[in-house]
Each structure stands twice: as C-alpha cells, then as structure tokens.
C-alpha cells in the first residue's frame, strides 16, 4: 500500500521530512550482489579492491542510492535522481553506517510538488550528490 501523499500546505523549504541510519554489512552486499547480478570483486574481495586503489571492499553505488531513495519513498511517491561521489568501504567483520536525511529543498504550489534534497553521508563525507526526489503532493 502506497504512503499517503503529503499536503504541500504543511511543508516549508528546509523541513526535514525523514531521516534514517542505514547499516551496511558484507552480508548485505552479498545479498545485493545476488539480487542485482553485480558481482564486481570490488564489492566482496578486499585484496582486489585495494589493488585497484580503493580503501577496501566498497558498497554498490546503486545499493546506496536505493537505500537513500527508500527514505523518501516511504514518506511519499517520488521521481528520484542521484550522482555517486564517493564509495562506501564496508569492513569485515563490521558494518558501515550511512546517515540519510531528507529535507524540503523547494516547493512548487502551482504544480503541487515538493523537491526533497537528500544528504547521504558516510564517515562525515558526502557519498551521493544531487540526490533529489520530486514528490507530488495533494
């Protein structure tokens, strides 16, 4: 069942509409690889990942994007765009914790839409840029 559409009248630019902490483990990367078919060794093999200049195994960019989009999607239906800016190293054993905050960036009363800007960070640094969702409000 889809979430009810938010009322644009109740929104203001700068409002935080959703936030979540996402915990990524090597197990979640394996599950995502199986679902997506992306078995690039940078997502599961530390030796290979470091040999190509990465800090270790990194999370899939599309997986990160999907986790960020789900924060807004749960709040309302979306048109989502993103650009990947930095990989997320996922240690073994352990987890990488990604912070996602969704904030109203613009309102268009005429079309009844809100642009929601997503701040997606790992270890205090942005991992997604231009992460935006356009939400149709009632």
- Three-state secondary structure call for residue 41: helix
Find the domain containing 112 and state its range: 8-23+59-136
When divided into structural domains, the chain yields a total of 1
pLDDT in tens, 27-40: 999 999 999 999 99
Inside any domain, residue 67: yes
Q: Length of the chain, please?
A: 138
Name every residue whose Cβ is closer than 8 Å to that of residue 113 and which is 6 or more positions away in sequence.
8, 107, 134, 135, 136, 137
pLDDT in tens, 98-117: 998 989 999 988 888 888 89
Inside any domain, residue 108: yes
Inside any domain, residue 109: yes
State if pTM tops 0.85: no
First-to-last alpha carbon distance for the chain, in angstroms, is 17
Q: What is the CATH number of the domain that holds 64?
A: 3.10.129.10
């Amino acid at each position: 069942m889809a979430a009810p559409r938010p009322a644009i009248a109740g929104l203001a630019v700068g409002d935080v509409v959703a936030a979540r902490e996402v915990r990524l483990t090597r197990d979640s990367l394996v599950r995502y690889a199986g679902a997506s078919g992306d078995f690039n060794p940078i997502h599961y093999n530390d030796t290979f990942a470091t040999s190509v200049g990465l800090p270790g195994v990194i999370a899939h960019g599309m997986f990160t994007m999907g986790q960020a989009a789900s924060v807004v999607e749960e709040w309302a239906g979306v048109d989502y765009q993103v650009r990947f800016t930095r990989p997320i190293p996922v240690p073994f054993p352990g987890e990488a914790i990604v912070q996602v905050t969704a904030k109203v960036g613009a309102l268009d009363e005429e079309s009844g839409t809100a642009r929601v800007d997503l701040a997606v960070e790992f270890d205090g640094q942005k991992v997604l840029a231009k992460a935006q969702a356009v939400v149709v409000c009632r």
